[in-house]
């Protein structure tokens, strides 16, 4: 009797071990099959030669990127907006003014700036981008993202995209390019990299080829952010 019971216990243990081993294999294989993706994103354009130089590098490297544009800077630089669009990059909204005092005084003022930027882009390339990035991020020293803001933006078919890796070129644009390269390196599976193509972002241009090389060498696929990309935002104020 005890022998039979012992054999049953052994059988149960072996079955459990085999099941656990099988599940572990499936999880490992599933993880291994996941593609590593990087989204190169550039804020604060269009900005003359700097934005042009960024586009030249992207074209030479055959990689796409996403540009979050400031609406008030577009006048006189319509050709750059057209080039961004025609070369297969994604256009996003980054407000009309990029000024905290007017942008964040109310949810409605924020929405208006984004919709005005959307219309400005539409008048040039015939599309209405619905992806946006909060100037200074959706949680900065003058504003914290609220659920009411999220609801308002979603009601107007707008989607929010922060970042999960920061090159640091916005805070210290004149820093050595090696600093931006170092900050941009990560082993995350999905990278949303914050960079800038503003007038003062000359050192970002110098860093960009090495940043692209790092992600190519590490097997990342370069993608643009569009309406089908999962949103990226955090820390909603209660």
Catalytic residue annotation: 43, 196
DSSP string, the chain: -HHHHHHHHHHHHHHHHHHHHHHHHHHHHHHHHSPPEEEEEEEEE--HHHHHHHHHHHHHHT---EEEE-GGG-TT-HHHHHHHHHTT-EEEE--SS--HHHHTS-HHHHHHHHHHHHHHHHHHHS----EE--TT-SEETTEE-BHHHHHHHHHTT-EEB--SEE-STTT-TTS-HHHHHHHH----SEEEEEEE-STT-HHHHHHHHHHHHHHHHTTPEE----TTSPPB----B-
Residue with tokens 């940043």: 211
β-bridge partners, 37: 190, 221
Measure the CA–CA gap between 141 and 171, rounded to whole angstroms: 13
> What's the rounded Cα separation, in Å, for the pair 114 and 5?
71
């Amino acid at each position: 009797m005890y022998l039979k019971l012992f054999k049953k216990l052994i059988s149960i243990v072996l079955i459990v071990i085999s099941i656990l081993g099988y599940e572990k294999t499936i999880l490992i294989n599933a993880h291994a099959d996941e593609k590593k993706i990087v989204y190169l994103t550039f804020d604060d354009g269009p900005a003359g030669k700097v934005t042009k130089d960024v586009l030249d590098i992207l074209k030479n490297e055959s990689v796409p990127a996403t540009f979050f544009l400031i609406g008030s800077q577009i006048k006189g630089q319509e050709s750059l907006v057209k080039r961004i669009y025609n070369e297969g990059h994604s256009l996003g909204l980054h407000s009309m003014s990029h000024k905290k005092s007017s942008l964040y005084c109310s949810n409605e003022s924020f929405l208006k700036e984004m919709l005005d930027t959307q219309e400005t882009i539409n008048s040039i390339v015939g599309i209405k981008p619905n992806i946006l990035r909060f100037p200074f991020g959706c949680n900065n020293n003058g504003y914290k993202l609220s659920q009411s803001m999220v609801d308002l933006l979603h009601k107007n078919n707008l989607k929010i995209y922060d970042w999960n890796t920061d090159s640091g070129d916005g805070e210290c644009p004149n820093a050595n390019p090696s600093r931006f390269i170092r900050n941009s390196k990560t082993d995350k599976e999905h990278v949303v990299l914050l960079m800038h193509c503003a007038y003062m972002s000359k050192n970002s241009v110098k860093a960009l080829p090495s940043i692209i090389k790092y992600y190519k060498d590490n097997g990342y696929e370069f993608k643009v952010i569009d309406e089908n990309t999962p949103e990226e935002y955090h820390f909603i104020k209660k």
